[in-house]
Amino acid sequence: MLWVGLSGGIGSGKSTVSARLAEHGAVVVDADKIARQVVEPGTPGLAEIAQRFGPSVIAEDGSLDRQALGAVVFGDEAARRALEAITHPRILERTQQLVAAAPDDAVVVHDIPLLVELDRAADYALTVIVDVPEEERVRRLVELRGMDEQQARARIAVQATDAQRRAAADVLLPNAGTLDQLRTRVDALWWDRLVPYEANVRHGRRVRRSEILEVVDPDPRWAAQAARLAARLQRALGESAVRVDHIGSTAVPGLPAKDVVDLQVVVPSLEVLDDPAVHRRLARVGFSPPAPNWDHARGKGVADGRWPKRFWGGGDPGRVVHVHGRVADGPAWRVALLLRDWLRGDEEARRDYLALKEKLLSAGLSSSDYAQAKEPWFARAVPRAEEWAARTGWTP
């Protein structure tokens, strides 16, 4: 099963996207619909609301008077939290029931307006944001929903900003054009990304880099992509992850690199990553099971040898990611951070490493051969990096 979060600001057309995904076969879990269901007439949720806020929030037909309730909780933090204490557990329970009932091979789309506001992006294997400029959303709310402009802008102002949504998005779906254009984008998302992603997660497969070596110019999106992936790992592993960091060449601003995001997870013991329950939590956010692997031992006085680790990746065909699990009481995680920060902080080191990349790239190597051919340089680089660390007072 693939767990996808879908969101967008009011007037963005998010419901149109979820409806199109449902046509393709996605199981859509509509947060707004569930929120209405748990306070329908006759439900314990509505009874508790009436008891807490009084009969004025109940309409003549026995349903919830949402406008009246909104007037009560608007601007009153204590009242809002009291309402959330009533509704949120019921919404969560119903959501979990619907997800549990989905087929094992389902793409489950959680249509949730407040995904960003509730800091939920790390809960999903993929976060999709329907992106529409604010002025276009204002126009739609005025012309299509009958709001006056001031009311429309006020509704938009209390939601997350466009910048906040874009930072949370693995996929931005532009929707300032025609309905046909939006449908074409949703169709491509479904067939090119969601369907293969679901199959990869279900079968425990990671997306592998191409063996055709390609080093690309620095991409300013790498840091944000790494941050979203790291948040998923941290959310899935909880306290078992001592720290999660972006490492490797894509973590060095301005350095050309293979288009692969490398992440490092530091754990108290590698056995933590062998737990089937951990594998299930990682799969929920789009990662394959960790597998035994090793690093080249590096550093002054280190004989030829290997440091054990766990290695895994993501199932998203739109982003190759490698995850290195290293033990907290071992040296490997510190060396990885040292090399990253040395390359960030020492211009001569960056020039040397780039010259090596260019030399190997011109040799026509495969990606695997390229990685292996860099090892002698790294063996010589670690003592230089240690000298830099001593000189600058660096600590991880």
Q: Is 54 annotated as a binding residue?
A: no
Q: Is 45 annotated as a binding residue?
A: no
List residues bridging with 76 in a β-sheet.
none
> Are the C-beta atoms of 332 and 326 separated by less than 8 Å?
yes
SS3 388: helix
Rounded Cα gap, residues 86 and 372, in angstroms: 57
Q: What is the C-alpha separation between 129 and 174, in angstroms, rounded?
A: 9
φ and ψ of 329, to 5 deg: -95, 15
Binding site annotation covers 367?
no
Q: Hey, CA dihedral for 237, 238, 242, 244, is it positive or negative?
A: positive
Q: Distance from CA of residue 395 to its chain's centroid? A: 28
Rounded distance, CA 159 to CA 269, Å? Answer: 41
Give backbone dihedrals phi and psi of 79, rounded to 5 degrees, phi first: -65, -40
One-letter identity of residue 238? G
Alpha-carbon span 90 to 199, nearest angstrom: 31
Question: In this structure, what token pair is assigned to residue 194?
Answer: 């969601």
Cβ-based neighbour number of residue 292 at 10 Å: 12
Whole-angstrom distance, CA of residue 160 vs CA of residue 116: 7
Q: Mind giving me the DSSP string for 121-156?
A: GGGSSEEEEEE--HHHHHHHHHHHH---HHHHHHHH
Q: Which residue has the tokens 């990685």?
A: 371
Q: How far apart are CA 104 and CA 202, in angstroms?
A: 8
How many Cβ atoms are within 10 Å of 74's Cβ, its own excluded? Answer: 10
Q: What is the DSSP letter of 206?
A: P
The answer to the question of whether 14 is labelled as a binding residue is yes
Task: Find out whether 15 is annotated in a ligand binding site.
Answer: yes
Q: Which residues are annotated as a binding site for ATP?
A: 11-16
Q: Which residues are annotated as a binding site?
A: 11-16
